[in-house]
Amino acid sequence: MELTHIIAFNIALLAAIASPGPAFLVAVKTAVSSGRRAGIAVGMGLGLMAALWTGAALFGLEIVFVAFPWAYTAVKTIGALYLLYIAFGMWRGARDPLTADVKPARHAFRQGILINLMNPKSVLFAAAVLVVIFPPNMTFSENLLVLANHLVVEWIVYSAIAIGMSTEAVSRRYLRGKLWLDRIAASVLGALGLRLLMDR
């Protein structure tokens, strides 16, 4: 494994984080509505679980999903239902006024874990990226380096999002458009959940 492999992986990883998926939307919403601490906490949970999925891909969990399709279907269905639950709560609360510290950091961290835990496509995405970018037969220490790199990148990016989105200027803009921003985010999350549920 060479440095160019890590650089290519990080470029793919940054593109994946920036895509408007459930992890990114929840990270932004939490930082704006619940503050910097909760935003960082949800990012820590998202990053930890995403890195664990990469670890699972590195150490062969995608083989389990291929060998036992029902396991993948079960996790995918639970994940889709969880996304729909999050979307429903976000839509229902769109008109509610914000109060300070509405989400404790421990709850935000747990939500971050659950969002990415319930997304089994993460391990398949990670497996595909790993196969394309990295050479075969990497050593155990090289696999651990890739895993640690993934975790650090996720934590840095989500912490930056939390710090940026929790500033007063951004919060004021969010409050002005809260109803529509929340409902757009809820619609995206709901559509992702439905797509995951109906995807065969």
The pLDDT tens digits for 11-46 are 878 877 766 667 887 888 888 878 889 999 999 999
Give first-to-last CA distance, the chain, whole Å.
35
Structural domain total, the chain: 1
Range of the domain at 151: 3-198
Q: Which two tokens stand for residue 92?
A: 């229902």
Confidence of residue 59 (pLDDT cuts 50, 70, 90): confident
In this predicted structure, the answer to whether residue 70 has a pLDDT above a threshold of 50 is yes
Q: For residue range 89-147, what is the model confidence (pLDDT) as tens digits? A: 778 877 776 554 456 778 889 989 988 887 666 666 666 667 667 876 788 888 899 99
User: Taken in order 96, 101, 107, 111, is the CA torsion positive or negative?
Assistant: positive
